[in-house]
Each structure stands twice: as structure tokens, then as C-alpha cells.
């Protein structure tokens, strides 16, 4: 029997958690069917959730979509959902354990019937999971939309999404929570660490790990920045100090990346995602193929041969990426030619107009790079979509790899060219500084202030609209308006671009650190403002994202490590090329190069050994994990002993 939902003060009979927006042209029949499936009992294959249609806003317009639904659930349902998604919570003894209802009273903070035990972000994640695992029974298509085919076991929500019948699902903000969070995060004046636990509580582990990484990365760069300042101020260019700085940087980069792994494991343990088992991943909405049987689940689902996907990756995507890299190289060569030409014109006849001409190539190059980045991003998304990956995670990895390589190339190719082909260290330092500073300013503007300004305008319009109808107490919007407002907010597209930005900054710091020691200082300053602007945009500009139970920063750890390996090579080469070092080997360049290569190999070997020696998980966490495993083994053994004893009694 469906429980009667409690009545809420806002007129709703339950606390709304998630918003489901269907397309405005969806048939009435479809809506009735979907709602009944969502509300139906689990035994009958339903999701057993509460769902209600959102009423029209104060001043309903023609174009307003009526098909917006609010979804919630009873506490009982949420607790059973927590078990389904394998949520880890803190146990009485301080360890983290998978939540089970049978054991619920042994969990810390579990009081009464469990009200308040789960955070709102967790509840929303559970509802999302339950909606996504709502499967078709014997329907062959979505009622009312015969083009949206279904087969037993297919996730209904994913089919609706892929057919465009479902516009979006998003979790609601909590106004009070958000105010508190944003105050402790970026609004208060005194300097302090970010409230990572609160961020995780509100936005989930994936977000919190990004902000944790951003903060960690900033602190980790402080020693490099501090050491870099005197190099810049006093123009130290002796051989020894140079080498000392570079070697320190290289080892430091390795150490901080390794220590981050340990720190992130601590965070993930505390947040319960470290040992949480990943549920079996569903095919992503865009995945298509011939209907077959999944070899793992035995369920009917589309199947697409891996060999075909590999052909697409290696015969189309890979050549395409290589072609783009070549093109980017070609554009760079044109830029250097243009610059050479402008310089020669200016040298011949130095007037005001030829002085301006000097800037033209850089501006054109910058614009072309931005355009190329944009086009490439679309192409990469298209190609990765076309590769038809079954899992969202594999799709993301392939996309990240493609975009990463191209962005790395676009950002650093010109610097590499200046450093190793032109061998002009002064120009290198200049270009590095220019690129670093302009990209930082541009980023901050594009990322936070522009969307904020747009959002603010929209916000004000809404408030004005509401105020026309009635006077508002303390400027709070009623729930209906709030939902409409949030539905119109931009969607947060994940941490991809944020990590990419950090990755490129890390490149500026590490690749050419011995040439421009001030880079670390600039990046530290940038990161401090980045914390504020990112926090601000999360809280004010974007829809609340669903939380994502991440245990680490994933493919980005690998990307940062790859960058630190490349940094060893470039720094060794730069030092080998510096005139101070060259002066040590006046008679033989061969000797110099051999020494440089030998030192480089030694550093790389040392780096790998260091990576190997520092354990990825801190010992106290390792002990806690082993203890949990040991206890479950012992419990199993005890159970077996009891069974055996009973068995032997039966035989006697």
C-alpha cells in the first residue's frame, strides 16, 4: 500500500527533492503512465516515490512549460534506497560501513526513524538512482510515443532522455543551507580553509574533491612560489642555484602528486566513497546497437561489437586528432612567420603604425587558437559520441584524453618552439608571462562574472515579475517560482573545464619553471581567486548538480603525473641549453648533452622509485580497511562454525 505523503508547509504534501521536466509536447497518456510507474510499489516494479505536478507560476506565460514535476520520497523509502546504492555511513566505532537497515541503529547519528540521517544531497542522489533504475516491464514503447521503443529491463528515464521527451532532471537547492554554506565558504572575510565537509554535504564527493584538490594544489605551490621570488627579484642566474631550483621543482611535483593521492584517500575514506563498490553501470543514454544479451547481467540490451569501436577509434578518431595537431602546428608556424615579417617591417621603417603591426600577429593567433579550441571541442564530442561507448565513464575518459592532448598542444606548442627551436630564453619568459596572465584574466571573466551577470539579470526580472502580483516578505520566492527560476539556470557541466584549467596552469609552472620562477607565484594568486569565483559560480550561477560519489580525481591524476614526467624532460633540456651550463663544457658539446641526458634519466628513475615507495593510502586508513575486511571474514567463519556445530548435533 502506498503511504499517504505528509503535507508540507509550502502546499506540497512532501518535501520536494528533485525536479523532472518533460517536454511540453509530451502526451497526457505518457505523463499518466510515467507518474503511475514512479508512484507504484517496488514489488510491482515501480520506484515507490512521491511525484506531483508543479502548478503554474504567479504570472503564467504562454511559453511556460506545464510538464514540470516534483519528486520526493518517504524516509523509509530513502533508507532502503541508501542500501540499494551502497551508501557508506559512519558507524558507532568511527569506521565507515555500508549502510543496512537491519543494522541501522549501530550507525552514528541514526536517531528515531532515521529522519535527518541522510543529507539532502544523498537523498537526491538516491532518488536519481531509483528513477534511473526504473525499468520497462512489458511495454514495447513509451505509451503515446510509439517511436520511443522499449524492451523489458530498459531504463525508462534514459529512453525518455535519449528521445528528447525528458528535458532535464535536477535536484533543488536548499535556500537556508546554501546561505550558510556560501557564508562559510567565500563570503566571510577572515582567511581559512574551505569547509570541504560542508561542500561535500551539499554538493557531493566529486565537487568536494575538486575544491579539495584546488586548495591542496595552491598550498603545494606555495614553497615553489616562495623559492621562486628571490630568483626573480635578484636575477639569480648562476648555474648551481638554477639547477637546485629545477631539481627541487621536479622532486616537489612528484611528491605533491603522491601526497595528494594519500590526502584524497583520507578524504574519500571519511566521506565513505573509498571502499564503496561501484554499482553495475547502465549503458549511457546515447548508446545504440543491435538488441542482444548483456554477457554480464544476461539482460536484453543493445550490444555493439568492441572491435567495431576500436576500428572507429584507431582508424578515424586517432588520425583526426593527429591531423588537428598537425594543423595547430601549421598555424603556429604561420604565426611565427607573420611575426618575423612584422618585425622586419618595423625594423625597416619604425613608425607608429608598424608599431601597432607588431601586435597584430599575436592577436590573430590568440583568436585563431580560441576558435580552433572551440571547433575541436565540438568535433571531439561528436567523434566520441560516434565511437558509441557503452559506459558514461569510458565516454568521459575518451573525451578527456582527446581534449587534453589538443589543449596541451595549443597552449604549449609555441612555448616549446621558442624554447627548443628558436632557443630564445628572453622571448620564452615574455611569452610565458603574457600567456599565463592573459589566460588567467580571461578565464576568471568568462567563467564566473559573465554567467553571474546574466543570471542576476534573469533573477531580477523574476523578482520584479513576482512583485508585480504581490508584495514579498523578506524577498523569499515561493516554491513554484523558485523551481521555475532554477530550471532556467545554466546547467553545471561537471568539473572537466575546471580541472583542465588547473592542468594547464600546472603545465606553466612545471614545464618551464627554471626559466620563469615567478610562474608559481602567479598561479598561487590565480588559484586563490579561483577558489572564490568557482565557489561563487557553484552557489549562485548554476543549477545544483547531482552529487557524484567519486573516490579520487580519476583520469586527472594520470594527466598531472604525465605532465610532471614531461616537465623533467623539458627542464633538463632547458638547463642543458643555458649559457651558464654550457660554459662548464667549453671544449665539447657532446659531453654536455651526454651529461644532461644521464641526469635526466637519473631523475626519471628517481621519480618512478619515489612514486613506488610512497604508499597510495595512508597507513591508518589501510589499517581501518583491513580491520573491516578481517571482521567480515571472522563473522563468516563464526557463522560457518555454528552451522557445522548444528549439523553435527543433527547427526548425533
- Write the DSSP assignment of 144-155 as a string of letters: TEEEEE--TT-B
Closer to its own copies by Cβ: residue 461 or 582:
582
Q: Least distance from C-beta 25 to its own copies, angstroms?
A: 36
Q: Residues near 338 by Cβ (< 8 Å), separated by ≥ 6?
A: 360, 361, 364, 365
Q: Least distance from C-beta 572 to its own copies, angstroms?
A: 10
Angle, helices 205-234 vs 196-203, to 10°: value is: 140
Segment (H or E) for 166: strand 166-171
Q: Least distance from C-beta 558 to its own copies, angstroms?
A: 9
Residue 458: what are its φ and ψ, rounded to 5°? -60, -45
Q: DSSP label at 473?
A: S
Yes or no: say if 91 and 97 are a contact pair by the CB < 8 Å rule: yes
Q: Residues near 73 by Cβ (< 8 Å), separated by ≥ 6?
A: 14, 17, 48, 49, 50, 81, 123, 126, 127, 130
Whole-angstrom CA distances from 508 to 253, 263, 428 are 13, 24, 11
Q: Least distance from C-beta 215 to its own copies, angstroms?
A: 29
Residue that the C-alpha cell 563473522 belongs to: 635
Yes or no: say if 319 and 311 are a contact pair by the CB < 8 Å rule: no
Q: Least distance from C-beta 596 to its own copies, angstroms?
A: 9
Closer to its own copies by Cβ: residue 233 or 641:
641
- According to DSSP, the β-strands at 18-22 and 166-171 are antiparallel
Closer to its own copies by Cβ: residue 219 or 314:
314
Closer to its own copies by Cβ: residue 233 or 642:
642
Q: Least distance from C-beta 638 to its own copies, angstroms?
A: 12
CA distance 74 to 318: 50
Angle, helices 392-416 vs 360-386, to 10°: value is: 160
Closer to its own copies by Cβ: residue 583 or 641:
641
Q: Least distance from C-beta 491 to its own copies, angstroms?
A: 31
Closer to its own copies by Cβ: residue 59 or 643:
643
Closer to its own copies by Cβ: residue 95 or 373:
95
Closer to its own copies by Cβ: residue 208 or 563:
563
Q: How far apart are the first and last CA of the chain?
A: 48
Q: Least distance from C-beta 7 to its own copies, angstroms?
A: 22
CA distance 265 to 624: 12
Closer to its own copies by Cβ: residue 147 or 652:
652
Yes or no: say if 515 and 428 are a contact pair by the CB < 8 Å rule: yes
Yes or no: say if 528 and 193 are a contact pair by the CB < 8 Å rule: no
Closer to its own copies by Cβ: residue 9 or 43:
43
Q: For residue 542, list its beta bridge partners.
A: 490
CA distance 24 to 18: 18
CA distance 143 to 145: 6
User: Quick one: cell of 170?
Assistant: 535536477
In 3D space, the residue among 416, 457, 415, 405 whose CA is nearest the CA of residue 439 turns out to be 415
CA distance 96 to 82: 14
Closer to its own copies by Cβ: residue 53 or 297:
297
Q: Least distance from C-beta 280 to its own copies, angstroms?
A: 5
Residue 422, Cβ neighbours under 10 Å: how many? 11
Instruction: Give residues in contact with its own copies (CB under 8 A).
Output: 1, 42-43, 80, 83-84, 101-102, 277, 279-280, 295-298, 306, 569, 589-590, 593-594, 597, 601, 619, 623, 626-627, 629-630, 633, 637, 640-641, 643-645, 652
Q: Least distance from C-beta 105 to its own copies, angstroms?
A: 15
Closer to its own copies by Cβ: residue 226 or 623:
623
Yes or no: say if 71 and 16 are a contact pair by the CB < 8 Å rule: yes
Residue that the C-alpha cell 515561493 belongs to: 478
Closer to its own copies by Cβ: residue 353 or 630:
630
Q: Least distance from C-beta 55 to its own copies, angstroms?
A: 32
Q: Least distance from C-beta 102 to its own copies, angstroms?
A: 7
Q: Least distance from C-beta 563 to its own copies, angstroms?
A: 13
In 3D space, the residue among 595, 505, 588, 560 whose CA is nearest the CA of residue 243 turns out to be 595
**SS3 at position 50:** strand
Amino acid at each position: 500500500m502506498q503511504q499517504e505523503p505528509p503535507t508540507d508547509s509550502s502546499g506540497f504534501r512532501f518535501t520536494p527533492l528533485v525536479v523532472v521536466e518533460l517536454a511540453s509536447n509530451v502526451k497526457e497518456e505518457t505523463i499518466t503512465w510515467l507518474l503511475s510507474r514512479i508512484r507504484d510499489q517496488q514489488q510491482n516494479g515501480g520506484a515507490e516515490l512521491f511525484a506531483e505536478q508543479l502548478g503554474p507560476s504567479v504570472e503564467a506565460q504562454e511559453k511556460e512549460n506545464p510538464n514540470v514535476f516534483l519528486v520526493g520520497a518517504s524516509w523509509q523509502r530513502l533508507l532502503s534506497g541508501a542500501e540499494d546504492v551502497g551508501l557508506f555511513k559512519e558507524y558507532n566505532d568511527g569506521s565507515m560501513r555500508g549502510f543496512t537497515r537491519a543494522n541501522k541503529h549501530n550507525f552514528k547519528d541514526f536517531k528515531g526513524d532515521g529522519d535527518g540521517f541522510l543529507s539532502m544531497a544523498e537523498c537526491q542522489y538516491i532518488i536519481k538512482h531509483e528513477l534511473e533504475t526504473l525499468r520497462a516491464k512489458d511495454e514495447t514503447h513509451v505509451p503515446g510515443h510509439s517511436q520511443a521503443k522499449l524492451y523489458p529491463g530498459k531504463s525508462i528515464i534514459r529512453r525518455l532522455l535519449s528521445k528528447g521527451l525528458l528535458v532535464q532532471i535536477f535536484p533543488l537547492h536548499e535556500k537556508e543551507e546554501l546561505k550558510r554554506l556560501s557564508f562559510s565558504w567565500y563570503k566571510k572575510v577572515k582567511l581559512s580553509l574551505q569547509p570541504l565537509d560542508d561542500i561535500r554535504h551539499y554538493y557531493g564527493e566529486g565537487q568536494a574533491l575538486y575544491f579539495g584538490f584546488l586548495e591542496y594544489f595552491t598550498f603545494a605551490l606555495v614553497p615553489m612560489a616562495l623559492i621562486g621570488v628571490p630568483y626573480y627579484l635578484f636575477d639569480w642566474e648562476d648555474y648551481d642555484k638554477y639547477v637546485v631550483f629545477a631539481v627541487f621543482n621536479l622532486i616537489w611535483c612528484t611528491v605533491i602528486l603522491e601526497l595528494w593521492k594519500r590526502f584524497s584517500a583520507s578524504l574519500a575514506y571519511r566521506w565513505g566513497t573509498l571502499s564503496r563498490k561501484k554499482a553495475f553501470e547502465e549503458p549511457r543514454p546515447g548508446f545504440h546497437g543491435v538488441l542482444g544479451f548483456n554477457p554480464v547481467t544476461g539482460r536484453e540490451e543493445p550490444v555493439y561489437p568492441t572491435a567495431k569501436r576500436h576500428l572507429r577509434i584507431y582508424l578515424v578518431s586517432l588520425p583526426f586528432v593527429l591531423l588537428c595537431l598537425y594543423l595547430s602546428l601549421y598555424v603556429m608556424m604561420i604565426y611565427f612567420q607573420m611575426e618575423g615579417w612584422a618585425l622586419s617591417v618595423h625594423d625597416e621603417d619604425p613608425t607608429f603604425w608598424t608599431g601597432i603591426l607588431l601586435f597584430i600577429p599575436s592577436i590573430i593567433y590568440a583568436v585563431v587558437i580560441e576558435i580552433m579550441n572551440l571547433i575541436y571541442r565540438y568535433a571531439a564530442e561528436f567523434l566520441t559520441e560516434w565511437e558509441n561507448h557503452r559506459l558514461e565513464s569510458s565516454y568521459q575518459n575518451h573525451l578527456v584524453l582527446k581534449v587534453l592532448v589538443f589543449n596541451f598542444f595549443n597552449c604549449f606548442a609555441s612555448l616549446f618552439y621558442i624554447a627548443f627551436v628558436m632557443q630564445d630564453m628572453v622571448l620564452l619568459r615574455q611569452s610565458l608571462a603574457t600567456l599565463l596572465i592573459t589566460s588567467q584574466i580571461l578565464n576568471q571573466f568568462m567563467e564566473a562574472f559573465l554567467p553571474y551577470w546574466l543570471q542576476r539579470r534573469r533573477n531580477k526580472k523574476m523578482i520584479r515579475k513576482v512583485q508585480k502580483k504581490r508584495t514579498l516578505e523578506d524577498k523569499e520566492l515561493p516554491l513554484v517560482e523558485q523551481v521555475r527560476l532554477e530550471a532556467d539556470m545554466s546547467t553545471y557541466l561537471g568539473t572537466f573545464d575546471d580541472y583542465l584549467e588547473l592542468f594547464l596552469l600546472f603545465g606553466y609552472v612545471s614545464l618551464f619553471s627554471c626559466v620563469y620562477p615567478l610562474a608559481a607565484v602567479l598561479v598561487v594568486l590565480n588559484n586563490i581567486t579561483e577558489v572564490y569565483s568557482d565557489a561563487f559560480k557553484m552557489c549562485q550561477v548554476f543549477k545544483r548538480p547531482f552529487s557524484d560519489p567519486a573516490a579520487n580525481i580519476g583520469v586527472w591524476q594520470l594527466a598531472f603525473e604525465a605532465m610532471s614526467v614531461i616537465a623533467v624532460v623539458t627542464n633538463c633540456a632547458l638547463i642543458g641549453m643555458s649559457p651558464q651550463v654550457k660554459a662548464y663544457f667549453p671544449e665539447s658539446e657532446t659531453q654536455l648533452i651526454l651529461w644532461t641526458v644521464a641526469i635526466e634519466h637519473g631523475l626519471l628513475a628517481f621519480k618512478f622509485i619515489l612514486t613506488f615507495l610512497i604508499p597510495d593510502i595512508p597507513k591508518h586508513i589501510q589499517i581501518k580497511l583491513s580491520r573491516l575486511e578481517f571482521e567480515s571474514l571472522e563473522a563468516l567463519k563464526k557463522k560457518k562454525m555454528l552451522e557445522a556445530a548444528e549439523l553435527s548435533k543433527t547427526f548425533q
